[in-house]
Structure 1
Amino acid sequence: MKLTRRPRDPVATREAILEAASALLARAGPEGVSLSEVAQAAGVNRGTAYQHFETRENLIAATVEWASDKMFRAVFGDPATIGERQVENVDPADLTERLADFAMSNPELCRVWLLQVLASPDPAADPFWREYVGSIGRFAATDLAEPGVDAEVLSVIVLSGAFMWPVWAGAHAQDSEERGELARRFARECMRLSMYGSMQHARFPAIAERLAAKPVSPPR
């Protein structure tokens, strides 16, 4: 009986390589990444890794782009429909919760993205950054915002906090349920600061009511 060779799945292989690269980037930084190490971690041979990414630089760039797309879809939705979104119709509390939940579930991915994009000479080339800071800028231009909001500074503050908070969670949470509670704590406090900082809080009574409810208790 002749055995047939199972066809390779290039999409799954690429995904495995990018996942391995993101973990190595988070642990060792760009200078600590090599295609050989990534291939080994992904469970593929070095030749296969080179077929997908010819150089280390290409791999790092692709990993950041991959992370950006995952965050974009989790926080904003399908990039193909983003043009339909009106900032006045977005629930900022829900968006903040989605960001906190994604960061808690994907801490290494988020830290890789943050460090690479903030160090980039052109952060606006990244789709997630462009949409995030752009949405704050569009919000700041409406009468829903307090005057003088600096969209770039606010974006760095919120994203840095969201992507570093899981470090605290890793040291203080015992299981996924506790990590989920910590994500909700972060989202709540971030929303409270925005409500009484960058937002015209009187225009958001539903969010004020949510914040007035009993907060999530910190773990003992």
Structure 2
Amino acid sequence: MTFTETAPLRRNKGFEETHRELIETAVRLISEKGADALSISALARAAGVNRTTVYYHFENREVLIAAVKTWSSKQLAKAFRPVAPQGERIDYITRFVLDNPELIKMWFEDFISAGDIRDRYPEWDGLVASVAERLAAEGCEADSEVYCVMLLTSAFIGPRVFRNSVRPDEDADTIVRRFRIERQRLLKQTGLLADETI
């Protein structure tokens, strides 16, 4: 289905399911056309619901955009939780960045804006504490907050710079593999590489 096609109307879904589907549809629309193209009407058409349903979930476009940013923060935070092997987590975030350039652009604009990072990236304190603990265990005296800023910046900007300006001829799988190898090499140097081989 393209951006301008209208999905058939659906009824009788639970609030949470509809809410999730609306956010996922908004993410898709942003990825296809950019954040400026997202409107309540466009979302209603793409999701196959009436505008009243969208307004029931999101008071206005700003609330919808905030929900999309929260969703993207949660998706990005998955890569920093040790619930999967480190290589898989590195691959996940690199592919997410490559597959969702408009979403990452929107998220990163918030990330560099003035104000408390915890308001835009609720997982910040947990990330910093986890990194500080690992650095201390390895006897590394690095500044965990600065390290985390550098980690996030390279994770969110690096793959796009590489694809757009360095090697536009390379496919996503190759870029993901190359970034995994180099990130693991850097993490190994600071003692943050999990017990895995490069």
- TM normalised by structure 2 equals 0.68
In the alignment, which of 105, 110, 113 is matched to residue 116 of structure 1?
110
Q: Hey, what's the Cα distance between the residues in 1 that align with 2:85 and 2:138?
A: 12
Distance 1:116 1:72 in 2: 15
Which residue of 159, 183, 193 maps to 1:190?
A: 183
- What is aligned with 1:159? 152
The answer for unaligned runs of 5 or more in structure 2 is 1-9
Q: What is the CA-CA distance between 1:192 and the residue it aligns to? A: 1.8
Distance in 2, matches of 1:99 and 1:132, equals: 15
1:96 aligned onto 2:71? no
Which amino acid in structure 2 is aligned with residue 116 of structure 1? D
Question: Which residue in 1 is equivalent to 2:76?
Answer: 71
Shift of 1:172: 3.0
Q: Percent identity?
A: 30
**What displacement does 1:25 show?**
4.9
Matched to 1:138, the amino acid is E
Give the alignment partner of residue 125 of structure 2, picking from 126, 130, 153: 130
Which residue of the partner structure matches residue 7 of structure 2? none
> In 2, are the aligned partners of 1:35 and 1:56 still within 8 Å (CA)?
yes
Alpha-carbon separation, structure 1, partners of 2:26 and 2:55: 13
Instruction: Tell me the alpha carbon deviations over residues 46-69 of structure 1, each in whole angstroms, 9 at most, x when there is no partner.
Output: 211101001222212211112222
Letter in 2 for 1:172: D
Aligned partners of 1:23 and 1:108 also within 8 Å: no
- In the comparison of the two structures, how many residue pairs are matched? 183
SS of aligned partner of 2:123: helix
C-alpha deviation, 1:74, in angstroms: 5.1
Structure number with larger C-alpha Rg: 1
Secondary structure of the residue aligned to 2:115 is coil
- Given that residues 100 and 184 in structure 1 are in contact (C-alpha distance below 8 angstroms), is that contact kept between their aligned partners in structure 2? no
- Match in the other structure for 1:14: 19
Mean Cα deviation higher: 52-61 or 106-115: 106-115
Amino acid in the other structure paired with 1:182: I
Cross-structure match for 1:172: 169
Question: Offset at 1:104?
Answer: 4.2
Rounded Cα–Cα distance in structure 2 between residues aligned with 1:51 and 1:60: 15
Match of 2:60 among 51, 55, 64: 55
Residue 9 of structure 1: CA displacement?
A: 4.4
CA distance in 1, matches of 2:82, 2:195: 23
Q: Is the 8 A contact 2:78 2:89 kept in 1?
A: no
Contact 1:123 1:130 in 2 (8 A): no
**Following TM superposition, by how much is the alpha carbon of 1:24 offset from its aligned partner in structure 2, in angstroms?**
5.0
Q: Give the aligned residue type for 1:179.
A: A
CA–CA separation in structure 1 for the residues paired with 2:86 and 2:191? 12
The residue type equivalent to 1:139 in the other structure is R
**Distance in 2 (alpha carbons) for counterparts of 1:64 and 1:195:** 31
CA root-mean-square deviation: 3.6
Equivalents in 1 of 2:128, 2:41: separation in Å?
A: 36
The answer on whether the counterparts of 2:79 and 2:89 sit within 8 Å (CA) in structure 1 is no
Contact 2:134 2:191 (C-alpha < 8 Å) held by counterparts = no
